[in-house]
Structure formats: structure tokens, C-alpha cells
Amino acid sequence: MQKLVYERPYIKKLTAGVMNKFGSRSGGKPFEYIDNVPVKSLIASYGSPLFVLSEKQIRRNYRAAYRAFSTRYPKVQFAWSYKTNYLNAVCSIFHQEASWAEVVSGFEYRKALGNGVPGNKIIFNGPGKTADELLLAIENDSLIHIDHLEELNQLIILAEGKANKPRVGIRVNMDTGIYPIWDRFGFNYESGDAWAAILKVINSGRLQLAGLHCHIGTYVQVTGAYGIAAAKMASLALRCKAELQHSIAYLDMGGGFPSTNTLKGSYLPGTDTIPTIDDFAEEITGTLTKAGFANDELPLLILESGRILIDDAGYLLGTVIANKRLSEGKRATIVDFGVNVLFTSFWYEHQISPAQEFAPNMENMVVYGPLCMNIDVIRESINLPLLNPGDNVVVHKVGAYNMTQWMQFITLRPAVVLIDEQQQVHLIKAKETLDYIERDEHVPGHLK
């Protein structure tokens, strides 16, 4: 006799709440392929957990964003935000697409040089540049964005006697109507500090004020804030021209555009509420073109986007280790990746899909990582079908920040692969090894 398909017996208490099966975000179909490459084969070849990046999606995102700005404004330059994902393969894709490099440390600066970015196409941001790093940037004719007065004073000293004046920009912070105001970076617009810094650069005679820079926040979900920022930046530039007869060559509007992940605590999913890159582009370029610049004096518009260009091109594949019921009866599923490699689970409600066919019953559950730590929660509450140990899952939109902020903790960090546009899979970072972790450790002789 042909045996029937088995399904785990399952009952669910009926409450006044809606049944999960009427359209659950994680419901629907299994997610079995990334760019036509089977998830199962990726795990078989490279282990679990595994980060997967889609080159096709990265390029598609870049081109869509560049088009959004360049069709609305004559001079646009993107600079890849290294801290978002500085795997060399990733940076190289952006540089191939003509992106400059935006770095915030000497480490990132050297990575950019290593990736073949000419010094004059590196933007050096951040509050923590050392004297050596500043000198390196000066030698390479990079754009140095000044964060505070100490740095400004130091640059004036370092620039003494240089044949070519270092090219600098002033980082400006401002009230754009969003909360919190990022007034810890740069010089404040409303208080006049930003103008004072501009005067100091010009009056030093040793620095070349090339541009103005701002970066109003992160995951900004209102386009209007960028309009306010663009208006204030433009007014500073126009004032430079009017009062100092100095033309500002570029306005760097930074980044901060959101991906379509759903932030914890937000009511509607990000896919339905987040403005598109065209909305942001319209706001920024619309403001700049109407700001009062002479037509031939429109400054170059620089954007330092990171997250929006790569978040949805990244996936984390993992495996179910075990199921259990918590004391209150709620189901818990333990997976083989923790918050140490999925840092963004602290602020996103990441979508998780099963990577194989599943039974129709959904159950609300908590998803834990494997770390022996109470904070290791991937999702506090998610509707998923009943998963069995050994089943695979796919976490979506993890391309930004996870591969730079990940922590090595009690296990080894996973491998990262890139699926190219021809659907070939490339290992772009091998899984860590014990040898690698211990390579630079030293045990004193008396302990051996």
C-alpha cells in the first residue's frame, strides 16, 4: 500500500485574532533560488550559515539610483559608502559603475587605495582621522571633510608649505525637522558655527574649500528633510559666493536613504511605506535647481549612499537546529546564525522564508540564534510554517552593515559568496578558521 504524506499533528487555539494564514508576510511560497541558483546547493557547497550577494541586484540598484539623480540634475557623482559593506569584491562592483569611495577611517582609506581608487576620488569623512592619515589624504589630493575645530586647526598646520593646497569640505549639521538631529558630526548651521568654519578655512589661505558636506541621519523616511537640508546647504554655498567671492565646487548630501526593510515598531511594512529613490532625488534636485545658482555654477551633487544600494542584494542562508516550546506554550525555533552575524536584527524585523516546501499551517514563533546569550533573538514574533531540524531558511535584505559590523563570538564568521550576472557563484570571503583567529595570539612562555 502506498503510504500517505505525513504531517506533524498540530492544534491551534482559536482566538479573536485573525488566523495567520490569511496573508502572512513570511507565508506564501518557499524561497528556493537566488538569481536561479538553488539555495540548497549554495549551502551544500559553502556551508551554513552563508551570506549571498547578488551582483545583478547591486548593479540594478546603483543604476536606478544614479538614473534617479542624473536625469534630474546635470552633475551627479556617487561615492560608495565603504562602511556599509567593504568587501573588496563589493567595492569593486561600485567602482566599476564609476562610484568614488567614501571612507571614514584610515583602514577604509587604505582599502580604497588597494581597490585602485585614485586618491582624488576618495572622500575622507569621520571624526577620528589621525595626523598620519590626514597627511596621506593630503598627499593623494583626496577630499577631506572636516568634522571639528581640532581637525581644522590641525589641517592648517599640516598644510603649511604645501605647493598644492589640500582640498577640504566642511561637514555641516542642521535641523531638518527629523529626530534626532545629528549635531554630533560637523559644524552647526543654525548657530553659525558652520559659517565660522567656512571663514576660517578661507582666511587660513592654506586650504582650498572645495565643497560642503552633510549627512542628516540614517534610515530617513521623509523626503522633506532632504529638501530642507539641500536648501540650507545651497544657502551656505550662495553666501560663500556672495560674501567671499568663492564658488563651492560640490555639495555632498551624504546618504541616509532607507532600504525597504521594516523597522521594529513601525506599523506598516517598509515595502509599502518607504519613499523611493526617485522621491528623494526629486526633493533634493528640485531644491538645488531652484536655489538660485547661476546655470553654469550649479555645484556637483555628490551622494554617499550605502544601504539603499545593497541591502536587498544580500541574503543570509541558515539552517534550523531545533524547535522547542517555551513555558507559555509559544513555539521557538533555534537557527544556526546569531545576532553577532546579523547585527541588523536589532532594529529590523527581517523577513525570513523557508527554503523548501512546507505544510500550510503557520505558527507564531520566536526565532533564536545559537549563541548562549539571552539577547540572541533574530525575530521576537514571526509567523512561519512548522520547520524541522535541518530545514533551511533565507533571511532577506541583509546586504548593508552586517558584513562590516559582524562580530566573531564563540563561532567562526560565515563565508560570503557573490552570484555574478551570469549566475556563476564566487567565494568572495572564505569562512573564518581557527588558525586565522589565533594567528596573532601569543601565549607567554611560562604558560606553555
Partner 1 sequence: MKLKKNIATSENGFIFNPATGDSFSGNAMASEILLAMKNGDTEAQIKQQLLQKYEVSATQLNRDWEDWIVQLKEANLLEAAIYDSK
Partner 2 sequence: MTANNYSGLCIGVTGLNANDNPGPGVAVIRALKEGLGTGLRIIGLSYESLEPGIYMRDMVDKTYSIPYPTEGTAALFERLTYINDKEQLNFIIPNFDAELHNFIKLAPQLQQIGIRTFLPSIEQLMIRDKVNLYDFGQKNGFHVPADHKLYAAGDVQKATEELGFPLVVKGKFYEAYIAHNKEAAIKAFNQLATTWGYPVIAQQYIKGTEINIAALGDGDGNNISIVPMRKLYITDKGKAWAGVTIEDAALIALADQFAKATKWRGGYELEIMRDADDKLFILEINPRFPAWIYLTAAAGQNQPLALVKMAFGEKLTRFEEYQAGKLFIRHSWDQVVDIADFQRISALGEL
Specify which residues 52 forms β-bridges with. Answer: 315, 417
Pick what 4 binds: partner 2, partner 1, none; C-beta below 5 to 8 Å, kind-dependent: partner 1
CA 172/CA 193 separation, integer angstroms: 9
The interface mask with partner 2, positions 124-163, x = CB under 8 A, is: ----------------------------------------
Q: Does residue 179 belong to the site contacting partner 2 (CB under 8 A)? A: yes
| Residues facing residue 172 across a β-bridge | 187, 214
Instruction: Between 13 and 442, name the residue whose CB sits nearer to partner 1.
Output: 13
Decide: helix, strand or coil at residue 244.
helix
Query: 419 has which bridge partners?
Result: 54, 425
Q: Which residues on neighbouring strands pair with residue 385, listed in sequence order? A: 362
Cβ(189)–Cβ(236) below 8 Å:
yes
Residue 23 binds which entry of partner 1, partner 2, none, with Cβ cut-offs from 5 to 8 Å by kind?
Answer: partner 2
Binding-site string for partner 2 from residue 7 to residue 26, where x marks contact by CB under 8 A and - marks none: -------xxxxxx-xxxxx-
Cβ distance to partner 2 smaller for residue 92 or 271: 271
Residues in a beta bridge with 415 = 50
* C-beta of 63 vs 264, nearer to partner 2: 264
User: How many whole angstroms separate alpha carbon 200 and alpha carbon 146?
Assistant: 12
Shortest Cβ 280–partner 2 spacing (Å): 16
**Applying CB under 8 A, does 47 fall inside the site for partner 2?**
no
Closest to partner 1 by CB, 4 vs 434, is 4
Q: What is the DSSP letter of 369?
A: -
Question: CA–CA separation, 171 vs 148, rounded Å?
Answer: 8
Residue whose grid cell is 532607507: 258
Omega of the bond prior to 180 within 30 degrees of 0, cis? yes
Tell me the DSSP string of 256-285. ----SPPBTT-SS-HHHHSPPHHHHHHHHH
126: left (phi over 0), alpha (psi -120 to 50) or beta: left
Question: Distance between CA atoms of 95 and 241, rounded to whole angstroms?
Answer: 33
Residue 10 near which of partner 2, partner 1, none (CB within 5-8 Å, type-dependent): partner 1
**Cell numbers 526565532: residue:** 367
The option from partner 1, partner 2, none interacting with 25 (CB < 5 to 8 A, set by class) reads partner 2
- Give which of partner 2, partner 1, none residue 267 binds (C-beta under 5 to 8 Å, depending on kind): partner 2
Minimum gap (Å) between residue 387 Cβ and partner 1: 13
- In angstroms, give the least distance from the CB of 289 to partner 1: 59
CA-angle at 167, arms to 103 and 243, nearest 5°: 125
By CB under 8 A, the residues from 239 to 298 that bind partner 2 are: 265-269, 271-273
- Comparing CB distances to partner 2, the nearer of 4 and 268 is 268
Tell me the C-alpha distance between 404 and 406, whole Å.
Answer: 6
Distances (CA, A) of 416 to 59, 62, 226, 395, 423: 18, 20, 34, 14, 15
Name which of 10 and 346 has its Cβ closer to partner 1. Answer: 10
Closest to partner 2 by CB, 101 vs 352, is 352
Smaller CB distance to partner 2: residue 127 or 275? 275
Binding-site size, partner 2 (CB under 8 A): 22
Please name the helix (run of DSSP H) or strand (run of DSSP E) that holds residue 139, with its range, or none: helix 131-139
Residue with cell 479573536: 16
Tell me which of partner 2, partner 1, none is bound by residue 361, counting a contact when its beta carbon lies within the kind-specific cut-off of 5 to 8 angstroms.
partner 1
- Closest distance of CB 177 from partner 2, Å: 10
Please report how close the Cβ of residue 12 comes to partner 1 at its closest, in angstroms. Answer: 6
CA distance 175 to 183: 8
Interface residues toward partner 1, by CB under 8 A: 3-14, 323, 325, 329, 359, 361
Amino acid at 351: Q
266 touches which of partner 2, partner 1, none (CB within 5 to 8 A by kind)? partner 2
- What's the closest the beta carbon of residue 320 comes to partner 1, in angstroms? 13
Pick from 1, 3, 29, 180 the residue near partner 2 by CB under 8 A: 180
Nearer to partner 1, 85 or 333 (CB): 333
> Could you tell me the smallest distance in angstroms from the CB atom of residue 378 to partner 1?
21
Give the footprint of partner 2 on this chain (CB under 8 A): 14-19, 21-25, 27, 179-180, 265-269, 271-273
